């Protein structure tokens, strides 16, 4: 994939005001992660299925997205982000909000002038997501996402793949006081997800935790989504 180096391009999705801005920020993300059209396609093929369907990002589609010829659908955008290592609600929310801003109703011209995005590291984007999105935009995004999910999938327990041995905890945090056994790598059933303490592990940062049973058979314990293949909650419902 050819294009300017990452430091010469805009990178903050909170500053996106036009389709061209979104394409530029996605180019920066791909360049910073060292991704080409070929490696984007390969990374997408390795992602776990979403809503029961395999994820894919053909080279031609990646090219159209990064050159601004095509505005990605919500699903394509999530696949692109996951291929670049951007997962979890707080990491993907600024990008979904950026797409929402530049998706004008049919027949309504997009007149927003192009803007220069600030260069912000991915982890800072994730930590600042709540402040970067206005309450109104977040409410709209949540309502639309909830309606979409309700129509396209049935929530329930799901088998996901644990990539590395990790501790299990009685609450969604990494404190020694809540440590209760551990789980080893491999397929494992999970019942739901919730938000808790921020954790950085295996080159990922997230506040999402999944409820499961540890290797000793003790139920209702949590591990960080950082230890789950693709850092994806799949069809899991939110824990009550």
**DSSP sequence for 26-62:** HHHHHHHTT--HHHHHHHHHTSPPBTTB-----HHHH
pTM attached to this predicted model: 0.43
Nearest to 170 by CA among 231, 110, 211, 125: 211
**pLDDT of the residue at 110:** 46
Q: In the numeric block, which tokens belong to residue 70?
A: 């095509």
- Within the chain, strands assigned E span 158-162, 166-169, 179-183, 186-201, 204-212, 221-224
Rounded Cα–Cα distance for residues 119 and 96 (Å): 18
**pLDDT of the residue at 111:** 44
Ordered per-residue pLDDT tens for the chain, 240 residues: 444 344 455 678 999 999 999 999 999 999 988 999 999 999 999 999 988 899 999 999 999 999 999 999 999 999 999 999 999 989 999 999 999 999 865 444 444 445 454 444 555 444 555 455 555 556 555 556 555 444 445 788 988 899 989 999 999 999 999 999 999 998 999 999 999 999 888 888 888 999 999 999 999 999 999 999 988 887 889 999
Rounded Cα–Cα distance for residues 75 and 91 (Å): 15
């Amino acid at each position: 994939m050819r294009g300017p180096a990452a430091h010469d391009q805009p990178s903050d999705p909170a500053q996106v005001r036009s389709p061209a801005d979104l394409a530029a920020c996605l180019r920066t993300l791909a360049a910073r992660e060292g991704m080409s059209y070929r490696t984007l396609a390969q990374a997408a093929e390795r992602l776990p299925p979403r809503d029961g369907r395999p994820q894919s990002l053909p080279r031609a589609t990646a090219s159209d997205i990064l050159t601004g010829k095509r505005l990605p659908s919500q699903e394509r955008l999530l696949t692109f982000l996951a291929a670049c290592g951007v997962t979890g609600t707080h990491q993907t929310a600024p990008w979904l909000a950026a797409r929402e801003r530049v998706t004008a109703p049919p027949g309504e011209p997009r007149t927003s002038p192009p803007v220069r995005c600030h260069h912000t590291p991915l982890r800072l984007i994730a930590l600042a997501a709540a402040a970067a999105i206005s309450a109104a935009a977040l409410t709209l995004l949540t309502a639309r996402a909830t309606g979409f999910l309700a129509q396209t999938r049935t929530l329930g327990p799901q088998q996901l793949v644990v990539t590395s041995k990790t501790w299990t905890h009685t609450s969604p945090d990494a404190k020694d006081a809540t440590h209760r056994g551990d789980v080893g790598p491999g397929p494992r059933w999970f019942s739901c997800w919730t938000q808790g303490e921020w954790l950085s592990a295996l080159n990922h940062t997230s506040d999402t935790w999944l409820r499961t049973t540890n290797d000793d058979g003790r139920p209702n314990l949590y591990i960080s989504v950082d230890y789950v293949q693709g850092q994806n909650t799949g069809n899991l419902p939110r824990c009550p």
